[in-house]
Structure 1
Amino acid sequence: MGGLEARGIVGPFALKGVDLALDPGEWLALLGPNGSGKTTLLRVMAGLLRPRGGEVFLEGRPLRAYGPYERGRRLAYLPQGGPYPEGLLVEEVVRLGRLPHLGLWGREGKEDREAVDWALEVSGAAAFRGRPLGTLSGGERQRVLLARALAARPKYLLLDEPTTFLDLEHQGGVVALLRRLARMGVGVLSVLHDPNQAALAHRVAVLRGGQLVAQGRPEEVLREGLLAALYGPGVRVAHLSGRPHVYLDG
């Protein structure tokens, strides 16, 4: 058995018996209205919250059986924001992603430095690696936090609204990166608000009121009936180049 799997997750807060599996090499997008439990589920699957019922498994073992460093070498989590000291340099923030890989004395090696350089480059944060975090815009900070998660070189990457604060160009860059990571064998689970970004994922799952109400390929899930129930009757879906495109009528 492989992958990251939530089985029968009940609580905390809204979750009501959620089953969701993330396979290596796939990008799974998680949609749902505000308050539906998306962030809570992501934090449960990252091991940051303990459910009242059910279990999360990582590669066949209960996630709670992993120590924090062992888990951190396999699983990285990008929250919506991070409480980092404003005076930290960007490169110092990204280097924090390597902590699970460092030895007893915390000494960095060539592999660690290469991972940090790669993460800064692919996230688009290399240009401001020497700047203090407090001098960055919201979009720049978001790219730094993404680089920090990538520096761990995780097998599974959990992202809570990774395109928040980004302009259209950098949103497209993040989407392309998520697809690239999946091709490299990384399992990617991202909470999104934009169903048109979710349409580019391999699979889409939808939470409503703490329950998983749909999951499957984007063309199976992103249908007018379901989306209208989530977001209102004005939602429309057209199909462009074989993919669903969601828009509001009127």
Structure 2
Amino acid sequence: MTLTPFYLILTIANIVFFTVLYLLVPPLRDALSREDQFMENLTTILFLETFFVGLYATLKLPNKQRRKLYLAIPIVGLLGFLSELSFGERIFYFEAPEINGVKIDAVHDFLSVIYISWYHMPNRNAVALAVALIFGTILFWNRRYFAFNNLQKIFQNFFPSRFVTAAVLFSGMGLIIDLEIVHHDFLFFLEELFEMNGGLALLFSAFAIQVERKGYFVRTQKQLAYSQNLVGVTSILK
């Protein structure tokens, strides 16, 4: 089984499994939805694995440009790992700083700061509309880059990109829930579930670097063998 189908099966299976577990086994709900519990610890492990696997695979890439590009994956994995640990606040017993009443002990807390600042801003709806129009205009003028054919080429030429996209989508949904616009216990579970799947997708992007590296090695070996055969045939003809 190739990497992409395996990822899809694993993702769908874990979402169904953990959701059913949360709904049908109430005693496990805290473990699946609270900080420093099973789900968050699993997310932490996934981010840490992403860092090590991604760093190893990236440094082994023969293509320097791709090496620089893919280095972002283990870096994000490391940031995710540290973020899940509150940057060591609970380990080293230091007090994280606050901005607008929000404790900054994770990367996504900056989004909460932005949301709170916007919420208390005069004419916030007008500001939101202006920002939406600006982004909409930018997307419109660059729409050719987001065409299906271009995205398909990106997914084909940069194998990890499909998993990075999934990681961004899952993490984005988790971030939106983390803003606590709506309060419900089930949403806390969904936040942890989405964050965990964001970590899982990022880990698969690290695996994809390894697959791409091996594919490049195989192609190089075939090209080398072809060149040697060509040289041999040329020598015989001479």
Fold-level match, TM-score > 0.5? no
**Normalised TM-score (structure 1):** 0.25
In terms of fraction of residues, the more strand-rich structure is 1
Larger Rg: 2
In terms of fraction of residues, the more helix-rich structure is 2
